[in-house]
Amino acid sequence: MAEIYQTENFIVEAVDEPLVTRKDGGHISINPKVKVVDRTQLSPKLAIELMRLTMLIGEAMTIGLN
């Protein structure tokens, strides 16, 4: 995977084999640097940061892919 962006707690990457095509909106991965089974195990602070990243990266993808 190619790194797109990184924060203190998360890494945003372009996946090697996207599940969604560029034409259909693209596909990226946002993963916490700490290992968790799923996002329900994130602390409230990390969950808020994840939501903000999904909004920011989603907006950037919309602009960049159109």
Indicate yes or no: pTM above 0.75: yes
Predicted confidence at residue 19, as pLDDT, reads 86
* 42 burial level (CB within 10 Å; 0-12, 13-18, 19+): middle
Domain count, the chain: 1
> Does residue 13 contact residue 28 with C-beta atoms inside 8 Å?
yes
DSSP assigned state of 40? G
Range of the domain at 15: 2-65
Alpha-carbon distance of 53 to 11, in angstroms, equals 10
Predicted confidence at residue 26, as pLDDT, reads 78
Dump pLDDT digits (tens) for 18-51: 888 777 777 899 999 999 999 999 999 999 999 9
> Does residue 42 contact residue 5 with C-beta atoms inside 8 Å?
no
